[in-house]
Amino acid sequence: MDNNALYNISDDELIEQTFQELLNDYLSTKHRKRVEIITKAFNFANQAHKGIKRQSGEPYIMHPLAVAKIVCNEIGLGSTSICSALLHDVVEDTDYTVEDIENIFGPKIAQIVDGLTKISGGIFGDKASAQAENFKKLLLTMSSDIRVILIKIADRLHNMRTLGSLATNKQLKIAGETLYIYAPLANRLGLHKIKTELENLSFKYEHPEEYEEIENKLHASAAERDEVFQQFTAPIRSQLDAMGIKYYILARIKSIYSIWNKMQTKHVPFDEIFDLLAVRIIFEPKNSAEELNECFNIYVAISKIYKPHPDRLRDWVSHPKANGYEALHVTLMGNNGQWIEVQIRSDRMNDVAEQGFAAHWKYKEGGGGEDEGELDKWLRTIKEILDDPQPDAIDFLDTIKLNLFASEIFVFTPKGEIKTMPQNATALDFAFSLHTDIGRHCIGAKVNHKLVPLSHKLESGDQVEILTSKSQRVQPQWLTFATTAKARSKISAILKKEQRNYQKKGETVLNEFLLEEGIRPEIVNYDKLLNLHNIHTKEELLAAIGSRMIILGDNDRNVLKEKQSSNWKKYLTFSFGSNNKDSKQSKKQENEIEEKTSKEVINPKKILKLTEDAIQKNYVIATCCNPIPGDDVLGYLDERNKVTIHKRQCPVAVKLKSSYGNRIIATEWDLHKSLSFLVYIVLKGIDRVGLLNEVTQVISRQLGVNIKNVNIVCEEGIFEGKFQLFVHDVDDVKQIIDNLKKVSDIKMVTRVQE
């Protein structure tokens, strides 16, 4: 509907018009035409939400209507799901109960609405335990009726489409949560189109400038891409027409988020992303039995027109992906000298690719029932770890998330029994899949009769025998190579139990130490010890003491008995490392400043603008991502009322947005080039005499940038250098990179983490 046409009609007319659109969309599907119950659900919800407005100012009922339209058009569900979508906020926001819904609409709709109500506050609350509990509710509800999560994803998609009306910190919370949980869930359920839109919208609100820049570049190169598409597909169309195949061909453009992600991971600019265009051939098979053969017939035909890449054939027709995706992918060399991927799908395969598992239902005999198989296996795997809840929400979400992208391999026990494991599973994962006791006591494995360590990655067809010892105990480093949700949850639970025992012992030791020294067990004294040992929480401190990683002695005694130190304040007058070449600071002072930059508390008014609730609070710059002025950043307010500043795309920040969204603070830089920060620049090129000299001349003389450290490697004619520089902000970094790219024989320049 044209939004401009809506300005001149009343709310009631708008609501009625939107509902009629929903009915028309539903009537054009293959589902049974249960218009009466949908109309009944709409009238009920409309009356329940009467007079309520959304943040955007539109009537509240427009949101359930929009969700119902997504459920109908973009996920392909029927009347039960449409009714549930229309009613999904009624129990949460009005005086009606689940019992009322059941009495009026029956048990199935009531069950789905109840599931949606349980997770209606979002997956995440304020406290870690509440977040984990809510996520458990989500998963348990998923396993009872998958339509709950499908409707929840539709709800999140509409919220993301209307995110612009919310405050910035709310946008960051919801966008982070979406990227961390909902996009992977949509992907795992085969909702590729929705997954892509969720990623793009999250990226748009987290990095608006980068989003706009890539969008503009895509728009500027659209005509050129269209010409390539037309020329490439012309002979393919002629061949398919000659074969009498009913088909249509689409151009698939790489999503903005995918482009940005590739630019970040591959350290390449937009101009070096060569797979922006892919071609999709969607055909109507003569009959279902010929579907697979026709895919390969088309592949053979187009491979005679263009040369195929020998290593890039992907057969997901004979062996579908775990999320139900089926297609034949082949990469062909176009006449322009570039490789172009062609995706061959039947119309049924395309529906499954667009609408996920829900699309299977349309093709089942009798038009009803749910397709089980891979989805049920995945849900069963997730349910296994719900018996062992993690008290820390971030750990719990990480553990679950491991299963969201997993593909499968098949391995054998010594007796020949087949076990299904996620791809990249290790021998340790296999041990825990057999039994927790086998996992906790395993010391190694034999794979195909050869001894391997527990970290050994398994492959399909491996025969695996686990070796155990009663004296073996779970090791913390196991978490670095355990990949399955079950193994990680069991290891974490065992380690946490040990940690609690250490904490109890540590508390006894510390109290005895304080009593002996005549020092009161006050918060200020705990803080002194936390700062001395560079530990974040009291619990970590007690565990370290209990496990004898920390042995209390003279240093602790001296720190506890001295007055509260304020030595850090002397560094407020220093830059984060001077970029003045005539600076007289000693090397020792420079190192001290660098160390304080990453660890000490700085006055926020000097560097950043934070929202009102944190304007007076101190903050630290996160050492995990080392943001500098100009980077997109956010603040995280911890339990000790300290604000940590992260890059928005920092993996730690992504988890914090997802799990502690209400503690996220909108933040922007306000430095005016007053301080300097350390960054790392990597460059690669063809080695030649004088290249290093030219590079350092550009950095030091042309740009006046202070170089702290240089590491150069030259191997077989390839030059690779890593420079540690002091800069003021991102603009400095961009100027450095642009100038270095102009140096002859330098092929790649990028900023990296340490």
Active site residues: 92-93
CB atoms within 10 A of CB 414: 11
Residues 6 or more apart from 84 whose CB is under 8 A from it? Answer: 109, 112, 113, 116, 147, 151
What does the alpha-carbon distance between residue 55 and residue 624 come to, in Å, rounded to a whole number?
36
Sign of the torsion formed by the C-alpha atoms of 236, 237, 240 and 245:
positive
What does the alpha-carbon distance between residue 749 and residue 754 come to, in Å, rounded to a whole number?
15
Residue 457 to residues 265, 415, 460, 482, 593, Cα–Cα distance (Å): 23, 20, 10, 10, 43
What does the alpha-carbon distance between residue 667 and residue 228 come to, in Å, rounded to a whole number?
43
The pairing of beta strand 246-253 with beta strand 277-284: antiparallel
Residues 6 or more apart from 596 whose CB is under 8 A from it? Answer: 568, 571, 574
Closest CA to 597 of 577, 567, 624, 569: 577
CA angle in degrees (0–180, nearest 5) for 545-547-553:
35
Sheet holding 619-621, edge to edge: 608-610, 664-669, 633-637, 643-647, 619-621
Task: Answer for the pair 136, 391: CB distance below 8 angstroms, yes or no.
Answer: no
- Residue-wise over 174-194: b if at least 16 C-beta within 10 A, else e? bbbbbbbbbbbbbbbbbbbeb
Task: Answer for the pair 302, 330: CB distance below 8 angstroms, yes or no.
Answer: yes
Task: Answer for the pair 400, 385: CB distance below 8 angstroms, yes or no.
Answer: yes
What does the alpha-carbon distance between residue 328 and residue 313 come to, in Å, rounded to a whole number?
8
* H-helix segments, 518-547: 523-532, 538-546
What does the alpha-carbon distance between residue 533 and residue 487 come to, in Å, rounded to a whole number?
31
Tokens linked to 707: 């170089």
CB atoms within 10 A of CB 467: 17
- Element at 341 (helix H, strand E): strand 339-346
DSSP 617-681: --EEE-TTT---TTS-EEEEE-TTS-EEEEETT-HHHHHHHHH-GGGEEEEEE--TT-S-EEEEE
What does the alpha-carbon distance between residue 368 and residue 351 come to, in Å, rounded to a whole number?
16
Task: Answer for the pair 346, 294: CB distance below 8 angstroms, yes or no.
Answer: yes
Tokens linked to 123: 């997956």
The distance in angstroms from the start CA to the end CA of the chain is 50
Q: Fill in the DSSP letter of residue 3.
A: G
CB atoms within 10 A of CB 477: 10
Task: Answer for the pair 434, 445: CB distance below 8 angstroms, yes or no.
Answer: no
Task: Answer for the pair 597, 621: CB distance below 8 angstroms, yes or no.
Answer: yes
The 3-state DSSP class for residue 414 equals: coil
